[in-house]
Structure 1
Amino acid sequence: MLDANMKQQLGTYLQNIVNPIEITVSTNGNDKSAELLALAQDIESLNSSKITLITDENPSGRAPQMAISPKGEAPRVRFAGIPMGHEFTSLVLALLQAGGHPSKAAQDTLEQIKGLDSELNFEVYISLSCHNCPDVVQAVNLMAVLNPKITATMIDGALFQGEVDERNIMAVPSVYLNGEHFGQGRMTLDEILNKVDTGASDKQAAALSEKEAYDVLIVGGGPAGAAAAIYSARKGIRTGVVAERFGGQVSDTMAIENFISVKATDGPKLVAGLEQHVLEYDVDLMKTQKAVRLEKKEFVEVELENGAILKSKSVVLATGARWREMNVPGEQEYRGKGVAYCPHCDGPLFKGKKTAVIGGGNSGIEAAIDLAGIVEHVTVLEFGDTLRADDVLVKKAESLPNVSIIKNAMTTEVLGDDERVIGLKYTDRKTDESHLVDVAGIFVQIGLVPNSEFLKDTLELTNRGEIVVNGHGETSLPGVFAAGDVTTAPYKQIIVSMGSGATAALGAFDYLIRH
């Protein structure tokens, strides 16, 4: 199952197992069961003194399935499917953590998990090509390892299509807790904990409000925010970062091939590097916290969604942007039920079905090319009369037999049967004729919207919602700076955002010196 190189690497990791563990593989005689059993046998062979393999050929539950537990204990972590692809890391961490290898999570987070006093049964539906899914799987797995009242099961939707259809799952990761829908999309360990630990928000708000004023407070944890934090901290001033999601949109980006000096990487890997770099300095990083108000008083005050108020002598706003929505009837109703924004994550759920991509820029054409290898047919709808994507991408898409491109198409409605998408309507902008396209999935790729709504009565914004900044990153409010995709910076690129983050931090430092 594993090649020699992977065996060598995995074998090195598995030497970190402290206490004996058991792997129980449930099979049902099909090819996938044989693959999973072969994987388990490879794992056992790499550290047979600490790993015991048990097979169950007559399971009462899901199969194929791999359960992992400390020796002699009932399993609380399960993989229904073959945890390869993006989920291979989830498997390795589960093996190590079940064997007593410590997690890198913060100590207060670990204590919070251990203190949960409810029976929690998590089921996470994933696709192996989803780069957002492992974060959720690894979070609930860790919770299950640490707390005997918690169980966690990863379920590969491609192998358990009956469950996917029964629960009408059309986007991953989809999380169920005790049989009820709990959440969808990327979630961090802290976000999941705050959701199940009802008293956590009030405690966090009280603790955050007691913090001393910062010299520089960065709002946002994407490339611009990370760069601003590093440049501020290197000046030796008190620096804080408050972010709803560290990494921002970069976390949802797969192939990154234009980051200078790095030939190729992906979003999650880059985000991990950014966080590690930020934490090399004396930076107070506050994750899973959303800013809802900014006001200039004696200090600049930033109010968070949980009611906490942070104070700082200066602020750098780096809240980034989010995917633009179509804003047509049916879009919100069928979001997660056929309307999707991440082709890498949700594409495999539409295998063999007809889909549409809205948008003819690089993101849209790349999405069409990716989907073409999975789905029956892809229809690209572009509002303009020409495609905005790079020529090499356009030629590739046009060469694919199951990709159709329609220009001058204005999407007007998403159609559904109350449970899922069944089609869409568009108007030909040249003839004004309305057309119907039968599709099961619609992938929206039409650009970005700045995350600046909470600032509309505080700072000067453009009519598109971008924060107006000058060459030093200064906004219309003294002491408040901004950087990255939320600003009027003309090019929304990772490397440009990093540069503007550094500029804003240096501008804030200069402001502090002069004031």
Structure 2
Amino acid sequence: MLDATIKAQLKAYLERLQRPIELVASLDDSAKAQELRGLLTDIAELSDKVALRTNGQHTLRPSFGVAEPGEAPRIHFAGIPMGHEFTSLVLALLQTGGHPPKVDAAVIEQIKALPGKFEFETFISLSCHNCPDVVQALNLMAVLNPGVTSTMIDGALFQGLVDERKIMAVPTVFLNGESFGQGRMTIEEIIAKLDTGAVARAAEEIGNKDAFDVLVVGGGPAGAAAAVYAARKGIRTGVLAERFGGQVMDTLGIENFISVQHTEGPKLVAALEQHVKEYAVDVMNLQRATKLVPGELIEVQLENGATLKSKTVILSTGARWREMNVPGEAEYKAKGVCFCPHCDGPLFKGKRVAVIGGGNSGVEAAIDLAGIVSHVTLLEFADTLRADAVLQKKLHSLPNVTVIKSAQTTEVIGDGQKVTGIRYKDRVGGAEQVVELEGIFVQIGLLPNTDWLKGTVELSRHGEVIIDAKGQTSIPGVFAAGDCTTVPYKQIIIAMGAGATASLSAFDHLIRA
């Protein structure tokens, strides 16, 4: 099952086990069960601290649990955790075996203190780069708290259960049989949903902080660069982030970050966070800003009711996926309306889907999906596609792709539970058409996260923060950087440079004040 290189690497990892563990397999007569048996046998043979038994009683087969000998497993994998989930498996083995997790001590204590029973089920696809974070967070909670169980379920393998639960996007998490959440979630976000007093405690703690010299609002590449540059000046620096890493966390492959030939979004974000934490930066994660109040000390008001003050502020709130804003879209989001073909594509195997958008992202999505689904209909508003010629050539070579230009999407159609079709208007002839399908992937660009700034900072007609060459906004002492601004190209490397520029400008403002 495992090749020699992976076996050697895994054997080295398993040497870190501090206590014995047991793999408990629940198998059937399927080919996948035999494949899983081979994987578990390989693992057990790599360490004398790992035992395997095949008399598990889990209702999902093939599956296996990871536990200490003599204990019922609290971590389960329904399916074969390869691909992106192989790391989840390795961490489950190590953490069950006593290897300490790389999580703040306060978070560990918060997990241990959670009262009650929490049975989590996480539906994933093995090609999803967002899913492992959720699986690993819930697995760690199961290791630390006896009241928590975590089951990873490969949606492609358990298609019947996916249909029964009406799952149209991954990761999708159920808690005690009820819907808990969808999309990427950090362990802190999960705990915050379970610990009802966490928001009030965070608000009180944040509200008591002294004024900053530089407060960065946003934790993406621009915000991280700004924080590092400010902290290196020896001034009091804070970062307020709704989700550290921002949209980069949802980016699969990055191949244009100069000097790094290839990386992935989550890996880059982990490096950014580690770099920021090398300095005395006060990072306040999972916090949403709702209002900016100019003054001698600039105030940033938070959704939780707290207020932060700072001598200067750097806005780096980034952007989000642009939505179609048509009837039915909001109702069927994650019920057929999707934004990540890499994550959710495998759930539509053998089905019909549409891709909205004829730029590089849309055409790339259509090409990827064509290898999974039965048919792809690409709808483009303009009369020509905007994607690179090489991508268009590949797209037109695919037999199961239909391209419709001059198409204005007017409605997402569904049966109340899932998407059943899409309605569009022919912008040339005026006729309306309906395409019957099961999934819609929206790939029409980005919107800046600046709604909370309307009426304070000057914005462009596209909602971007207007800045000058130094990152200065229309308010003295308030600077901005990255995808939320009028910078012409929305790229990670450009955002980082803009963050550094804004930070140096903020420092210059401080010393001249």
Q: TM-score band (shorter)?
A: over 0.9
Question: In structure 2, what is the Cα distance between the partners aligned to 1:120 and 1:305?
Answer: 28
Q: Are 1:227 and 2:222 an aligned pair?
A: no
Alpha-carbon distance change, 60 to 120 in structure 1, aligned in 2, over 3 angstroms: closer
Residue 280 (structure 1) shift:
1.6
The percent identity for this pair of structures is 65
Q: Which amino acid aligns with 1:42?
A: D
Q: Which amino acid aligns with 2:79?
A: G
Residue 236 (structure 1) shift:
1.3
- 1:233-248 equivalences in 2 (<5 Å): 233-248=231-246
- Pick which of 480-489 and 397-406 moved more: 397-406
What does residue 63 of structure 1 align with? 61
Q: Which amino acid aligns with 2:16?
A: N
Q: Secondary structure at the match of 2:416?
A: coil
What does residue 115 of structure 1 align with? 113
Residue 305 (structure 1) shift:
1.3
Question: In structure 1, what is the Cα distance between the partners aligned to 2:131 and 2:302?
Answer: 27
Question: In structure 1, what is the Cα distance between the partners aligned to 2:138 and 2:253?
Answer: 27
TM-score normalised by length of structure 1: 0.98
Q: Which amino acid aligns with 1:149?
A: G
Q: Which amino acid aligns with 1:41?
A: T
Q: Secondary structure at the match of 2:170?
A: coil
Residue 100 (structure 1) shift:
0.6
Residue 283 (structure 1) shift:
1.2
Alpha-carbon distance change, 6 to 512 in structure 1, aligned in 2, over 3 angstroms: same
Question: In structure 1, what is the Cα distance between the partners aligned to 2:358 and 2:22?
Answer: 50
What does residue 180 of structure 1 align with? 178
Q: Are 1:340 and 2:338 an aligned pair?
A: yes
What does residue 474 of structure 1 align with? 472
Q: Secondary structure at the match of 1:94?
A: helix
Residue 347 (structure 1) shift:
0.4
What does residue 16 of structure 2 align with? 16
What does residue 27 of structure 1 align with? 27
Q: Secondary structure at the match of 2:314?
A: strand
Question: In structure 2, what is the Cα distance between the partners aligned to 1:105 and 1:388?
Answer: 44
Question: In structure 1, what is the Cα distance between the partners aligned to 2:105 and 2:284?
Answer: 15
Question: In structure 2, what is the Cα distance between the partners aligned to 1:411 and 1:211?
Answer: 48
Q: Are 1:390 and 2:388 an aligned pair?
A: yes
Question: In structure 2, what is the Cα distance between the partners aligned to 1:228 and 1:297?
Answer: 22
What does residue 284 of structure 1 align with? 282
What does residue 6 of structure 2 align with? 6
What does residue 373 of structure 1 align with? 371
Question: In structure 1, what is the Cα distance between the partners aligned to 2:19 and 2:345?
Answer: 39
Question: In structure 2, what is the Cα distance between the partners aligned to 1:180 and 1:468?
Answer: 44
Q: Deviations over 1:249-281 (max 9, x none)?
A: 111111111111111111111111111111122
Residue 406 (structure 1) shift:
1.0
Question: In structure 1, what is the Cα distance between the partners aligned to 2:308 and 2:128?
Answer: 35
Q: Secondary structure at the match of 1:486?
A: coil
Q: Which amino acid aligns with 2:500?
A: A
What does residue 310 of structure 2 align with? 312
Q: Secondary structure at the match of 1:46?
A: coil
Q: 1:361 aligns with which of 344, 355, 359?
A: 359
Gapped regions of structure 1 (runs ≥ 5): none
What does residue 75 of structure 2 align with? 77
Residue 42 (structure 1) shift:
1.0
Q: Which amino acid aligns with 1:365?
A: V
What does residue 189 of structure 1 align with? 187
Residue 187 (structure 1) shift:
0.8
Q: Are 1:146 and 2:157 an aligned pair?
A: no
Question: In structure 1, what is the Cα distance between the partners aligned to 2:272 and 2:372?
Answer: 33
Residue 297 (structure 1) shift:
3.1
Q: Which amino acid aligns with 2:94?
A: L
How large is the Cα RMSD of the aligned pairs?
0.9
- Pick which of 275-284 and 84-93 moved more: 275-284
Q: Are 1:36 and 2:10 an aligned pair?
A: no
Q: Which amino acid aligns with 1:316?
A: I
What does residue 293 of structure 1 align with? 291
Q: Which amino acid aligns with 1:133?
A: C
Residue 60 (structure 1) shift:
4.9
What does residue 321 of structure 1 align with? 319
Residue 479 (structure 1) shift:
0.8
Q: Secondary structure at the match of 2:44?
A: helix
What does residue 260 of structure 2 align with? 262
Q: 1:496 aligns with which of 494, 497, 504?
A: 494
Q: Which amino acid aligns with 2:425?
A: T
Question: In structure 1, what is the Cα distance between the partners aligned to 2:253 and 2:169?
Answer: 21
Aligned residues: 513
- 1:399-410 equivalences in 2 (<5 Å): 399-410=397-408
Question: In structure 1, what is the Cα distance between the partners aligned to 2:254 and 2:123?
Answer: 26
Q: Deviations over 1:164-212 (max 9, x none)?
A: 1111000011000011000111111111000000111101111111112
What does residue 53 of structure 2 align with? 54
Q: Deviations over 1:400-433 (max 9, x none)?
A: 1111111111001111111111111111111111
Q: Which amino acid aligns with 2:403?
A: I
Q: Secondary structure at the match of 2:391?
A: helix
Question: In structure 2, what is the Cα distance between the partners aligned to 1:60 and 1:246?
Answer: 37
Question: In structure 2, what is the Cα distance between the partners aligned to 1:15 and 1:514?
Answer: 57
Alpha-carbon distance change, 73 to 165 in structure 1, aligned in 2, over 3 angstroms: same
Q: Secondary structure at the match of 2:465?
A: coil
Q: Deviations over 1:231-253 (max 9, x none)?
A: 11111111111111111111111
Q: Which amino acid aligns with 2:11?
A: G
Question: In structure 1, what is the Cα distance between the partners aligned to 2:129 and 2:201?
Answer: 32
Q: Secondary structure at the match of 1:273?
A: helix
What does residue 45 of structure 2 align with? 45
Question: In structure 2, what is the Cα distance between the partners aligned to 1:389 and 1:47?
Answer: 51
Q: Deviations over 1:373-424 (max 9, x none)?
A: 1000111101111111111111111111111111111001111111111111
What does residue 447 of structure 2 align with? 449
Q: Which amino acid aligns with 1:276?
A: Q
Q: Which amino acid aligns with 1:139?
A: A
Q: Secondary structure at the match of 1:413?
A: strand
Residue 298 (structure 1) shift:
3.6
What does residue 465 of structure 1 align with? 463
Question: In structure 1, what is the Cα distance between the partners aligned to 2:68 and 2:219?
Answer: 37
Gapped regions of structure 2 (runs ≥ 5): none
Any runs of at least 4 consecutive aligned residues in structure 1 with deviations exceeding 2 A, and if so which? none
- Pick which of 502-511 and 250-259 moved more: 250-259
- 1:413-452 equivalences in 2 (<5 Å): 413-452=411-450
Question: In structure 2, what is the Cα distance between the partners aligned to 1:26 and 1:42?
Answer: 17
